[in-house]
Structure 1
Amino acid sequence: MAKALFLVASLLILGDVSFLHASFPPSIISDLAKIVMDNYCSPEKLAGMKEDIGEAHSNTEVLNMPDADELASILSEEVGTTVSDPRVKVSYEPNYVPAVPQQLPPLPPEQLVAVLQSSIKLDILEGNIGYLRIDHILGEHVAEKVGPLLLDLVWNKLLPTSALIFDLRYTGSGDISGIPYIVSYFTEAEPLIHIDSVYDRPSNTTTKLMSMPTLLGQRYGVIKPLILLISQNTKGVAEDVAYCLKNLKRATLVGEKTAGSSLKLDKIKVGDTDFYVTVPTAKSINPITGSSWEVTGVSPHVEVDAEDALTTAVKIVSLRAEVPAIVEESATLIANNYAFESIGIDVAEKLKETLANGEFNMVVSKEDLETKLTAELMKLSGDKSLKVGSTTQGLPPMDYTPEMYVELIKISFHTDVFENNIGYLRFDMFGDFEEVKPIAQIIVEHVWNKVLNTDALIIDLRNNLGGPTTAIAGFCSYFFDGGKEILLDKLYDRQSGTTIELLSLAELTGPRYGSKRSLIILTSGATSGAAEEFVYIMKKLGRAMIIGETTAGSSHPPTTFQVGESDVFLSIPTVHSDITAGPAWEGAGIAPHIPVPADAALDTAKGMLNKHLVGNQ
C-alpha cells in the first residue's frame, strides 16, 4: 500500500508541475496511473494504488520540470522502479504511428516458396543432424495456411534426421498461438500436456495452452535428441517455447541466457497527449515451475557464447549417439566382473532398464555422463567403489637413497609411547608388498622398534584410505604368535572364479608383537579399502578391540576397465572377502566394538588401556 501511494503521489506531484510549466493537461498523471492499473500483467504489485489516488491529488508540491522527453524519462524511471519491472516504460513520441500486425499477403505459390525459404534456414549436418533456424514464430492460423509448403520445404526433410538442432538465437518475435503448435511436434499425441498458462490482464482471463492432439505432418517424437540454441537476443514467444521444452525435459538448451522480455507488450496512448506507456499486458505462468521466464530470462543447460552454441550442440549430439553403447558395455563389464556375481548381474539388468527409460538422454558432456553413470551405479549397487574410474597413472618408480627412505618413512608413519607404556602407531595408507619388502628393515628400525616393547598398542587407522591389500597378510602376522599358520581370510576372485586363502606368514622382518598383549584399532568413516580388510580380519579373529566409527564400506582395490573403445573407464571391485563366516564388510563397513566419535576414539582407547594396565599391576 505504501509503495503504491508513493508511486501515485510522485506521479501526481509531477503532474502539478507539468501543468504549471508545460502544455501538458493536468489529467496526464492520473491517466497514466489508470493505464498501468488496468493493464499491467501483475496486478498484485499494484495493490492499493486505486484507493491512494484521491489522497495523492491533494499534493501541490512544485518541482522545476524540463521538457517532455525528460518528463517521460523521469516518469518511466518512477513507474518502472515502483513496480520493479524494467519493461514498464513511458515515452514521448509525437510522431508515433502504431505498428500494424504483419499479414501474409496472397502470393502465388512460387513467390510464397521464396518468402519461406528466405525466412527459414535448413541444413542436414554431418552425422544426420538436422538444423533449423527460424527468426519469427508463426501463429497457428498462418502456419495452417502455409502448412503444406512448410511440410514439403522443411519438415519432411528434418523428420528422418537422428537429432535436431533448433536455432532460436535470433528469434525476437512471434505469435502466442504458435507456442503449442511448435511444442506439440516434440511431444506425444496422447495424453495431452498442459504446456503453459497465459494470463491476460485487460480481459482478466487465463488461457491454458495445451499440446495438440492432431498436427499437420508427423511428430518428431520424444526420443531423438533436441537441442535449442538460445542467446540474449532470444525474446518473447521464443523464450516461452524454450522454457516450456526445457521444463518438459524434452530439450537441452545451449547458449546464453535469454533476454527476459515479455510474452505480450502493448504501447498505450496516455489520454490525448503524445505520451505513451509500454506495459506488459499478459504473462506466462508455467504449470511445472509455477513461475515465469519473463524479466529473469531462460537459463541454458550449457552456457557458452552464442557464436559457439552450434559447435557445442553438435558435440552434445555426437556424445549422445555414443551413450547407449557405453552404458550397454558398462553393464556387460559389471555382469562379468563384479565381485558379487548375483549383484553384478542384477545391477547390469537395472542399468539397461535405466538406459531404456531415458535416464541418460540429457547428458551434455563426457563429465556429465561419468557423473550420471557413477550415481546410477552407486544407487543400484549400494557400492561406493563401483564407479567411473580414473586412468591417472601412478608416479614412475624413483631411485631412493637409504637416507631418502628414512625421511619418507618418518613422514608416512607416526609413533609415540604414552603413559603406562602404551604404544601408538598411525599410518594413513597401505603400501604394495613388493614395494615395501625392500625397505622392510628400515621400517622395522625406524618405526616398529619404537612400539615393539610396549605393554599395549593402539593402531590409528582413522585416516587410512586403504591401498593395495598385498601387505595385509604380513602386517596381520605381527600380531599372532609364530609356529602356527592361521587362516586370516578367504578371498574370492571373480575374474578367475577362484577362492584364495589368505594365510599368516611364517617369516617376518623383525620380531612379532605376539597375541598376548592388548591391541586396539581406531577407525572412522574414512577408514577404507585395505585398512578395512585388516580391521575385518583382526575383529573376526578376536585379536583386537575396535573403537571409533563404522568404516567406509568400500572394497578391495578395484580393477579399472576401459568401456569399449571409449575414453570412459570403470572401476569395478573384482575381489571380495569370504562371506561364509558372516556379513561382508564391502558396501556395509565394519562396526566398532565401542562406537564413539572419531575424534574421541584415541582418548577412549587410552582411558581403557590405562585402567586395564594399572589394574593388572
Structure 2
Amino acid sequence: MFTFQFSNQYLLTIVGSFCLLVGQAMAQAPQDKKDLNISAKDKEIVLQELKQSMSKKYVFPDVADQVNTMLEQRQKNGEYDKFTSAREFAKTLTTHLQQQTKDKHLNVFFEANEIPPVDANGEPSPEEKKRLDAEERQFMQAVNYGVERVERLGGNVGYFDLRGFGPTEIVGHAISAAMTLLNASDALIIDLRKNGGGSPQTVALIASHFTDPEVHLNDIYNRAENKTTQIWSTPYTAGPRYDKNKEVYILTSQRTFSAAEDLSYTLQSLKRSITVGEVTGGGAHPVDGQRLHPHFMASIPFGRSINPITKTNWEGVGVKPDILSNANDALGVAHRKALEHLLAKEKHPGKKADIQRALDRLLKETQSGTK
C-alpha cells in the first residue's frame, strides 16, 4: 500500500506497510481546504506524539534526536504559540522537519475529518480496512491505474507514460497489458517525468519485464525491526519479457520521486536503461503512517533502500541521468537517440528507410519547435 496526495491521504497512509509518498503527479482529485482551530493542548499532543514517533521509527536515530531537540527548542521559544490554524500548523511542522533532515518523505498532514483510531499494532478496524480498500480501488480506476498513455512512435519506438506505481494487486493487470502492447516495439521510452512514486512491489513487477527472472533489484532496511527485506525480479510475468537486446530509455524530471526513482536507479544500475532528462527529486526512504491526533498524521521514513550493486541509494542526491536534458525536451532527445541507434544497426532496406523517415520528421519537428 502507498499514498496518493488527495483529500483522504491519511486513510491510505494508516494501512501502509510500505508507504511511499506520491507527490503532485497523480493528484487529480481536488484538495480539501477545510481547516480547524487548534488549541495549545492539541498542539502539545501533536508535538509529543511526533517526537515519540521519530524516536521509535525514523530510519536514522541520531537524526531523530536532532529533530526532537529542534522541535523542543522551537516550542521553548514559543514559535508554535501563534498558530490557531491546524492546517498551517501541519504545514509549518513539515517545513521544519524537512529543513532539519532534507528528507522529503517526512511530512505532517492535517485532515478536517476525524482520523479513525488504530489498534496497538497501528492497524485500523476490519471495517475501516474494507472501506479504505474500496476507496483506493475506486481512485486507482479513476486514474486508469496510473497508465496515462501507451503509444507507438515513429520508427516503431514504444512510449509508456506512467504517472504512479499503484498497489500491485490493483494495477498489475493494467501494467501487464501495457507491457504486452509495447513488446513488439524496437525500442522503448518510459516516461516518469510526472511520476511521484508508489509501491516498491510494482517497481519490481515493471523491472521484471526488463531483467531475467529472480534478479536482485533492491533491499529495504527497516530500522525499528533491524531487518532487511530483499526485492527480486519475479520468476513470471503475465506478458512476455522485453527483448534484452532492445534499448530502454527512461525520462526523468525534478518531479520524478520515490518509487519512480527506484525504477530509474535500479535499471540504470543494471545497465538496462538509458536515463534522459533532469536529476530527480531524491527520496529513497520508505515511509509508514503514524496517527498523531484525531486530525493529524505523519509519514515517518522507517527504512532506507540499498541497491545491491552500488550499495547505496538516491536519497538527497536524486538519480543522475545518463543524458542531461531539460525535462520538456527529454522525449525528443530520447526518441532521436533511439532512432539513431536503430538506424545504425538495421539491415533491412525497407525498415531502414522507415526509420530514416521517422528521424527526418522528428528533426524537422524539433527544429520548428513543435516536438
TM-score (norm 2): 0.71
Larger Rg: 1
Partner in structure 1 of residue 236 of structure 2: 507
Name which structure has the greater RCO, CA cutoff 8 Å, separation 6+. 2
Partner in structure 1 of residue 76 of structure 2: 356
Hey, what's the Cα distance between the residues in 1 that align with 2:277 and 2:137?
38
Structure 2 spans left out of the alignment, 5+ residues: 1-35, 116-130, 347-371
Matched, 1:478 2:209: yes
Q: Which one of the candidate residues 574, 578, 603 is aligned to 2:302?
A: 574
Which 4+ runs in 1 deviate beyond 4 A? Answer: 390-395, 397-400, 407-411
Conserved? CA contact 1:319–1:365, under 8 Å: no
Per-residue deviation at 1:374? 1.2
Change (3 A) 1:532 1:419: same
Change (3 A) 1:359 1:533: same
Q: Which one of the candidate residues 159, 177, 191 is aligned to 1:460?
A: 191
Per-residue deviation at 1:519? 0.7
Hey, what's the Cα distance between the residues in 1 that align with 2:61 and 2:283?
17
Q: Which one of the candidate residues 404, 412, 425 is aligned to 2:147?
A: 412
Per-residue deviation at 1:443? 4.9
Once the two structures are superposed, the pairs formed by residues 340-351 of structure 1 within 5 Å of their partners are 340-351=60-71
Partner in structure 2 of residue 544 of structure 1: 273
Change (3 A) 1:398 1:365: closer
Once the two structures are superposed, residues 405-448 of structure 1 have per-residue CA deviations (whole angstroms, 9 ceiling, x without a partner) of 7x9759834122222221111111112012234xx2x6544x22
Matched, 1:338 2:58: yes
Conserved? CA contact 1:430–1:467, under 8 Å: yes
Per-residue deviation at 1:336? 1.5
Matched, 1:528 2:257: yes
Structure 1 spans left out of the alignment, 5+ residues: 1-314
Change (3 A) 1:326 1:519: same
Describe the SS at the equivalent of 1:480: coil
Conserved? CA contact 2:220–2:306, under 8 Å: yes
Conserved? CA contact 1:520–1:605, under 8 Å: yes
Hey, what's the Cα distance between the residues in 2 that align with 1:481 and 1:395?
32
Once the two structures are superposed, residues 469-503 of structure 1 have per-residue CA deviations (whole angstroms, 9 ceiling, x without a partner) of 22111211100134xx2111111122322101111
Partner in structure 2 of residue 381 of structure 1: 101
Change (3 A) 1:412 1:340: same
What is the number of residues matched between the two proteins?
291
Per-residue deviation at 1:358? 2.5
Once the two structures are superposed, the pairs formed by residues 8-407 of structure 1 within 5 Å of their partners are 319-389=39-109, 396=134
Hey, what's the Cα distance between the residues in 2 that align with 1:576 and 1:524?
22
In the alignment, residue 466 of structure 1 is paired with which amino acid? G
Change (3 A) 1:530 1:335: same
Worse overlay, 599-608 or 415-424: 415-424
Describe the SS at the equivalent of 2:238: coil
Once the two structures are superposed, residues 144-175 of structure 1 have per-residue CA deviations (whole angstroms, 9 ceiling, x without a partner) of xxxxxxxxxxxxxxxxxxxxxxxxxxxxxxxx
Partner in structure 2 of residue 148 of structure 1: none
Conserved? CA contact 2:91–2:109, under 8 Å: no
Per-residue deviation at 1:450? 2.3
Change (3 A) 1:555 1:398: closer
User: What is the root-mean-square deviation of aligned Cα atoms in Å?
Assistant: 2.9
Matched, 1:492 2:212: no
Change (3 A) 1:388 1:507: same
TM-score (norm 1): 0.44
Per-residue deviation at 1:454? 1.5
Once the two structures are superposed, residues 529-561 of structure 1 have per-residue CA deviations (whole angstroms, 9 ceiling, x without a partner) of 211111121122221111101112234552221
In the alignment, residue 149 of structure 2 is paired with which amino acid? H
Conserved? CA contact 2:167–2:202, under 8 Å: yes
Hey, what's the Cα distance between the residues in 2 that align with 1:491 and 1:410?
25
Per-residue deviation at 1:366? 1.6
In the alignment, residue 543 of structure 1 is paired with which amino acid? R
Describe the SS at the equivalent of 2:158: strand
Conserved? CA contact 1:549–1:591, under 8 Å: yes
Change (3 A) 1:546 1:411: closer
Per-residue deviation at 1:383? 1.4
Partner in structure 2 of residue 434 of structure 1: 169
Percent identity among equivalent residues?
29
Per-residue deviation at 1:339? 2.4
Hey, what's the Cα distance between the residues in 2 that align with 1:574 and 1:336?
9
Describe the SS at the equivalent of 2:200: coil
Matched, 1:589 2:321: no
In the alignment, residue 415 of structure 1 is paired with which amino acid? V
In the alignment, residue 396 of structure 1 is paired with which amino acid? A
Describe the SS at the equivalent of 1:389: strand
Matched, 1:450 2:170: no
Describe the SS at the equivalent of 1:509: coil
Change (3 A) 1:560 1:515: same
